[in-house]
Amino acid sequence: MKISALASASSGNCFYVESEKKGEAILIDCGISCKQVEERLASIKKSPKKIKAIFVTHEHSDHIRGIDVFARKFNVPIFIPKNIVGNKFICSNEELINEIKNDEMNRIIGLDVSAFPKSHKSFDPVSYSLLDKNHRKLSIITDAGYACKNVTENVADSSFLCIESNYDDKMLEEGRYPWPVKQWIKSDIGHLSNTQSASCVLEHGGKKLKTIMLCHLSQNNNTPEKALGTYSYFMKQRLDIKPKINISTRHFATPLSKV
């Protein structure tokens, strides 16, 4: 299994996951335009024709913006939490839409893709874990208000972890956002801060964990340096694991990494 964050930030999120099965792949979310998805796939030398499914975490625009055009152009089925269907426009070709349930596992392109619920201001938010035939596990966890049991359990047995590190506490507190927005971001239905995210991995990360990718950084309330600095500080306290820590961006796809 291989992964690239085609984009992950407050402005748009899209993860490419490839299996060993004929180089077939899926997308987790499609929150950038179809054109951007194609360009970023080309930058890692991958074809959109190999995409066999799109799995949706929730209905916010930075996670679904490009789905309608991309799914129709390449005839890609969409898998989306049941309670979102009917509450939000997803795709004008309804035949491509497939409802999934919380804690449901789907086997596709040789991977077991499992949806698990989390806390976020959304109709039916989920994150995903993916397991390959060699029992290597990839978890993609963004847009979580706090590290609930479902989050910590998936952090605990992941080999490769993509996890939200959305904001720096001081930058958010001193920033220009209105007070109600700041309160929502910090709430249990908002986002994980650098400190919350790093604390979660410090406490629950397992010995299989080899790589951490920090995702969904706020453009206004965080910097890559602050996110990486916080993680480096916290992970120094774990002497039993030494995961590689890298970071996604809003501007280009990350290099393809093996899980």
3-state SS class at 234: helix
For residues 101, 107, 108, 114, the Cα torsion angle rounded to the nearest 10 degrees is: 50
Reported as a single tens digit per residue, the pLDDT across 33-79 is 999 999 999 999 999 999 999 999 999 999 999 999 999 999 999 99
CATH of 2-252, one of 2.60.120.380, 3.60.15.10, 3.40.50.1000, 3.40.50.720: 3.60.15.10
Bridge partners of residue 26, in order along the sequence: 17
Cα–Cα nearest to 54, from 3, 113, 9, 103? 113
Whose tokens are 């939200």? That residue is 164
Q: Give the pLDDT score at 224.
A: 97
Q: What is the pTM of this model?
A: 0.96
Using the predicted structure, report yes or no on whether residue 8 has a pLDDT greater than 90. Answer: yes
Average per-residue pLDDT for the chain:
96
Residue 209 contacts residue 158 (beta carbons within 8 Å): yes
Q: Answer for the pair 54, 70: CB distance below 8 angstroms, yes or no.
A: yes
pLDDT for 151-167, tens place per residue?
999 999 999 999 999 99
Q: Can you give the pLDDT at residue 213?
A: 98
